[in-house]
Amino acid sequence: MQRRRRTSISLALIIIGVILIIISLMGLPDQIASAKYPGALDRKAESLAALALESGVSAPTEDGFTVWFSVSNGRSRARVAGGSGDTLEKAWDTALSAAEKLVSSALIEPVWVKADVLTEAKPVTAAELKELSGEYKSGYLRRGVAFGSLDNALMEAEVNFAGVFDYEAGAFNEAALYAYLAETGRQPSGLDGMELLTCRSWFCGEDGMSYALDDNGMREMDASLSETAEAMLGTVSAKLGSMVQSDGSFIYGWQLSDGHEFTGYNVVRHCGAAWSMIKMYERGNESLAGAIKKAVGYVAKNCVTYRDDGAAFIVEEKSDELKLGAGALAAAMFTEYEKAFGGGQYTELAERLGDGMLAMRLPEGGFYHVWNTDFSEKERDRTVYYDGEATFALTLLYGMDGDEKWLSAAKDAADWLISSGYEQYGDHWVSYAINELTKYAPEEKYFEFALKNVSGNLEDARTRVTAGFTDFEMLGAARALISRMQSGNLFPELLQGFDTAALDDAADLRAGYMETAYGWPEYAMYFGDPQAALGGVYAREDGARMRIDDLQHFACGYMLYLDGDMEY
């Protein structure tokens, strides 16, 4: 009996020892992280300090300075820690100590680190905040907010994209705000004593390099410089290519504010995105070839239907519709594919889609926009964009096979655009279409219309507060047309009253502003899925939406800006 008891005790001690070893091993990563991560944070903070502590920032309050560090591992939304002091150095050290505790306790690898130094704290009531936010489009109130104390502060990107502020109501969603503050280690304290915060900011990336940030919270770079624009274009094209799935469909996009992937689909946007990828390939990005072939093949295999006379149409399955715009952009995509790759694989399909567009023409001019899948009429007018897209596609078809019926139809469509006053819409597809048409039909009325299309919308394109991807395309296509007019001495009298300098200035301004929609890491770090945002583009005004067409329009705008035209 005693021997059996001693054996049981020995076995129990062995089991306890094994458990203790397992527990100690389980704790080892935490110990390593606690030692490693603050050290990495210190190195990046030192790089940031070299810029921030020499910036000459003045104390914004009688209490001195406040500093916040935002830290992200590049895969999850950044966490924020701050501190105050009567000197900038003391505030910096206090905030850094808090950030070190944060990365140790939350096991955050400090891949991206951003420092914000408070320059102004302005008290604001709920009523004043509602009135102020009403002056801005959603996502464009570029201020942080503190609640009761500077310890409970949200950085600007958190205010706009953490799902806590409702622009329609002009107020914080209290339940969402309290949940977010608690989730991120800050103490909810009510909405009394709110302050709007303005900061000077600096960012240190994965490579250890630090940058001063501008008023938009992004690195101070001139996007009108070709090297900056080329770098952005390179990552955007790679992002779009990576979104092509094995079956050829795209990942449609993400709501970056919370990181969720869109479940809807739109074949018009699929075709437009694929067309833009082909343009990037023709420009020299041969790495896109595989993704292009999948995306183009997907439409040919899954989206085409034929009428008895052989005319082809693109089916939008979710709504059982045949859209003029889908047929037009599909024809443009297949035509551009043949130009880039040759072989004739999609030549006939492009022509049959052209016949489908001709079938949707109206006797009085223009096109019927949407049919049912049984080829019956459904909706006369869906969007002004379809008419410009169809005109553009018909002209591309003429450029592919030289059949006069396409050019005749394109000219009829352009005449209808002119008589209908389409310049009022500032449509980028009209700008594309007339630029292309005048290569084959260099008639005065078309050049005059193209100039009206841009001049009448130049001020809007110049001053729009959103990124305005399609404005940039409209300006670029107009500049390409004007360049041909100048080099060929075509209708010089039309240009005598046209302010080409103002057009160039608007394009430069828009190029710089487009950068604010780009997924720099210093802003991507605040989204629900930073990797989805990184190197892409998004629409702030729609909850930081990033769809395939956003990438398309951004890329095409910059290709026109950099190259003057997209004739490769």
58-110 pLDDT per residue, tens: 888 888 999 999 999 999 999 999 999 999 999 999 999 999 999 999 999 99
Pairing assessment for the beta strands 370-372 and 194-204 based on DSSP bridges: unpaired
pTM of the full structure: 0.91
431-477 pLDDT per residue, tens: 999 999 999 999 999 999 999 999 999 999 999 989 899 999 999 99
488-534 pLDDT per residue, tens: 999 999 999 899 999 999 999 999 889 899 999 999 999 999 999 99
What is the rounded CA–CA span in Å between residue 87 and residue 359? 74
pLDDT of residue 553 exceeding 60, the answer is yes
Tell me if 116 sits within 8 A of 99, measured CB to CB: no
Q: What is the pLDDT of residue 317?
A: 84
Buried/exposed code over 321-350 (b: 16+ C-beta within 10 A; e: otherwise): bbbbbbbbbbbbbbbbbbeebeeeebbebb
What is the rounded CA–CA span in Å between residue 216 and residue 114? 14
DSSP tally for the chain: helices H, then strands E: 21, 17
Q: What is the pLDDT of residue 59?
A: 85
> H/E element holding 415?
helix 404-419
393-443 pLDDT per residue, tens: 999 999 999 999 999 999 999 999 999 999 999 999 999 999 999 999 999
